[in-house]
Amino acid sequence: MPSISHLEMQTVQELNPVTGIQPATLPNAPARVPLYKVVWALLLLILGIAGCSSKPAPTPAFVYAANNGSNNVSAFSVTSSSGALTAVSGSPFAAGTAPTAIAADPRGKFVYVTNVLSNNVSAYLVNSMSGTLTTVPGSPFSTGVGPTSVTVDPSGRFAYVGAAPGVPAYTIDPASGALASIAGSPFASDAAAVAVHPAGKFLYATGFNVNNLSAFSINSSSGALTPVTGSPFTAGVGKNPLGIVVDPSGRFGRSFRPICLSRKHRGRNHIRFRH
């Protein structure tokens, strides 16, 4: 039987300091794993499996509609499995005169509604569990004449409105949802609809009466708008562009014009569009 060197014996002894048992008859004997480490590893495995198999509670989803003829906002909860709507308790909620457009911030914490005949925007705090709306302190906020659209940038820090004076721009208080006018606002003139680029870098506005599209870069710090080179754009724009959307990739923009729409009907709920 081969002899065991002093160094090998010392290594075996160091590997078994608790029991003092020396499997010294075998060179380079493997270390014993303490029982507490085995138990701890099994516990972590069980907890990990349980954590992976459990599903988080679904976040409530809500739908809001601006009712132009009844001067209020309807709120609904969404059934996740079917998409069916159920009226939220307390709905509808009071708005200004002839509410026209509606937008929510990316977190779903606030909702903003333009009131075309009272020349302002109503702001609401959303109850994350029930979907009920509570008026934000200071609401409604002045926009100038004829606000027909509203949008919130992807960061949730700025809100923009399409109105006759142009594009009123606001900062959003992250705690209360209150709006504060941005220096230099309103920007451009006669903006019917507004849309923000998915990256939050640009804003586009339709000129209803002037038949053009305005494009702006957004100051990421202040929210102020600066016209991009060549703006406003007229080539390819039809008569009375009223709606606008930017595709999710941010590469294309489309404006829409109504088939039949007179100035006095701007802001009505049911309008057919073509592009």
In tens, the pLDDT along 51-75 reads 544 455 556 699 999 999 999 999 9
Query: The pTM is what?
Result: 0.71
Cβ neighbours of residue 51 closer than 8 Å, sequence gap 6 or more: none
- What's 62-274's CATH class? mainly beta
Check whether 263 has a pLDDT greater than 80.
Answer: no
Mean pLDDT for 221-230 is: 95
Return the number of other C-beta atoms located less than 10 Å from residue 249's C-beta.
7
Tell me how far the alpha carbon of residue 188 is from its chain's centroid: 26
How many helical (H) and strand (E) elements, i.e. helices and strands, does the chain have?
A: 2, 20
Give the pLDDT band (50/70/90) at residue 110: very high
Residue ranges covered by each domain of the chain: 6-53, 62-274
- Alpha-carbon torsion angle 104, 212, 142, 184, nearest 10: 100
Cis peptide leading into 232, omega within 30 of 0?
Answer: yes
Mean pLDDT for 222-234 is: 93
Residue 69 is predicted with a pLDDT of 96
Residue 188 is predicted with a pLDDT of 79
Best CA proximity match to 191, nearest among 156, 241, 152, 119: 241
d(CA 13, CA 24): 8
Best CA proximity match to 121, nearest among 94, 92, 150: 150
Residue 221 is predicted with a pLDDT of 95
